[in-house]
Chain A
């Protein structure tokens, strides 16, 4: 019966990829057609739903403008700095908490519950501490990225196979050798996952901070488009930003070999 079940289940799968692709194309076409229809219908305020042509034109204008790349560079720099600082701090704290049960029992619950709180509420304090320039945006990104990385590393450290550690010790490996040959390779998966999560929330934190108070960066451009009610430009920026964010997330996973680890 089980064999029959698996046969009947696997038979339609062979023909699926084409049907799936067709359905995907159908959904995309339906959404775009619905959008265009809504845009031309006049049911919503004018320009709230701009035509696809206007959005396409705005995307082309955006991608061919030097000013956009300057602001993108500013934001990318802030996010990278935030990820580097938050990543290193998160790694250190995660290793300490993961390697010591007493420290974990004493402090990890603070991280666990502070982690999901809305970080943007700290922004007024960060402005006071780091000023209105890129410093406060980087600090916002650090604060956002730190928690998922620290928690992920701590959990990963505890999940290392004891046998691997015993093998390292039986070979009288030094602390550095233990770290580079045993701990880090064994924790590759949780570290990459933590960095991916950290990148996602760090990006949101930095960009939200830019929308609140800034004179450069992508967040500033988005809020400027809102202020000027330049809707096609705003849609264009959001679309490009979403593509970049999802792409960066996938790239971190790929560079870290996350897909290879999963396949094992």
Chain B
């Protein structure tokens, strides 16, 4: 991301927030005066008021924890299998040459569309959601692990050789620590992919946490509640991405 967007000055930040507030006020006026149909777009004030109702009545904490648990499970799985996959590809060059392009192609494949297949295999359960998140997010973790290990500075590897380190020692003392920041970039990407797919599949199969909440509210035609729930999911996603970014920045200076 650019410096401009990372460290916005106070005025630009205020203009950004101001434009958002003005937009909401204009929408409120347009809806209140009947220029926009309130049965299609509810007034922002109504959406804001329905936040409390959605949080209290829809047991949002439980739903949030459910989605978070699914994300965490998929995250642990993709970290373990993704990093191991990347290490194996790095260790066995022939395997890397044979499979790297396939994994790159899998990264651009619309894996989430396989959700009906996962429904058949795992049933309408949390495992369908977790497995979709896992499979869709696995390629970036494998590829970034491989990239991190392959890009380790030659001089570091040679220092290890001059100390007669065993391959195992060389891996744990040199390769893995040097590749860790890049591996974390892969895990961060994987977790973002996993969250997107998990919430998406929850919505599509009407099962689980936050995604299901949006679907239920939409099916009840609770428009203000639907908008509030969407805002809540966006908020959760943004906080999640920002936290991952902070952790990544915190990890980087150490290397």
- A residues with a Cβ closer than 8 A to B are 16, 19-20, 23-24, 27, 44-45, 48, 101-102, 104-110, 112-114, 116-118, 120-125, 128-129, 154-155, 158, 196, 200, 203-204, 207-208, 211-212, 219, 222-223, 225-226, 229, 231, 234-235, 238, 241-242, 245-246, 249
Q: Which of B196-224 contact A (CB under 8 A)?
A: 196-197, 199-200, 203-204, 211, 214-215, 218, 223
In angstroms, Cα B119 to Cα A231, docked, is 12
The chain B residue sitting closest to A231, CB to CB, is B120
Q: A48-B120, A222-B116 are in contact. Are A124 and B218 (CB under 8 A)?
A: yes
Decide if A207 touches B113 in the complex (CB within 8 Å).
yes
The chain A residue sitting closest to B120, CB to CB, is A48
- Give the contact-size bracket for chain B: 35 or more
A34 to chain B, nearest CB (A): 15
Q: Give the interface segment out of B56-64, B79-87, B235-243, B246-254.
A: B235-243
In angstroms, Cα B97 to Cα A27, docked, is 13
Decide if A118 touches B199 in the complex (CB within 8 Å).
yes
Write out, one digit per residue, whether chain B residues 82-124 have a CB within 8 A of any chain A CB (1) or not (0): 0000000000001101110000010011101111110111000
**B2, B5, B94, B237: which has the most chain A beta carbons within 10 Å?**
B5
B68 at interface by CB-CB < 8 Å: no
| CB neighbours of A222 from chain B (8 A) | 113, 116
Decide if A27 touches B99 in the complex (CB within 8 Å).
yes
Decide if B108 touches A200 in the complex (CB within 8 Å).
yes
Q: Give the interface segment out of B145-153, B176-184, B225-233.
A: B225-233
Query: 29 interchain pairs (CB within 8 A)?
Result: A16-B94, A19-B94, A20-B94, A20-B97, A20-B98, A23-B94, A27-B98, A104-B4, A105-B9, A108-B4, A109-B16, A112-B1, A113-B242, A114-B234, A116-B241, A117-B238, A118-B195, A118-B197, A118-B237, A120-B203, A121-B199, A121-B211, A125-B226, A125-B227, A128-B40, A128-B41, A208-B200, A234-B117, A245-B110
In angstroms, Cα B5 to Cα A158, docked, is 12
In angstroms, Cα B105 to Cα A200, docked, is 11
| CB neighbours of A24 from chain B (8 A) | 98
Decide if B204 touches A124 in the complex (CB within 8 Å).
no
Decide if B4 touches A246 in the complex (CB within 8 Å).
no
A64 to chain B, nearest CB (A): 23
B89 to chain A, nearest CB (A): 12
Chain B interface helix/strand/loop/mixed: helix
**B8, B12, B116, B227: which has the most chain A beta carbons within 10 Å?**
B116
Decide if A121 touches B4 in the complex (CB within 8 Å).
no
Tell me which of B4, B94, B121 contacts A101 (CB under 8 A).
B4
Decide if B110 touches A207 in the complex (CB within 8 Å).
yes
Decide if A16 touches B196 in the complex (CB within 8 Å).
no
| CB neighbours of B117 from chain A (8 A) | 226, 234-235, 238
| CB neighbours of B16 from chain A (8 A) | 105-107, 109-110
Decide if A125 touches B230 in the complex (CB within 8 Å).
yes
| CB neighbours of A117 from chain B (8 A) | 196, 233-234, 237-238
| CB neighbours of A208 from chain B (8 A) | 112-113, 200, 204
B108 to chain A, nearest CB (A): 5
| CB neighbours of B22 from chain A (8 A) | none
Tell me which of B9, B113, B227 contacts A204 (CB under 8 A).
B113
B3 to chain A, nearest CB (A): 9
The chain B residue sitting closest to A222, CB to CB, is B116
In angstroms, Cα B199 to Cα A168, docked, is 48
| CB neighbours of A241 from chain B (8 A) | 110, 113
In angstroms, Cα B193 to Cα A11, docked, is 40
| CB neighbours of A45 from chain B (8 A) | 120
Q: Which of B160-198 contact A (CB under 8 A)?
A: 192, 195-197
**B4, B8, B109: which has the most chain A beta carbons within 10 Å?**
B4
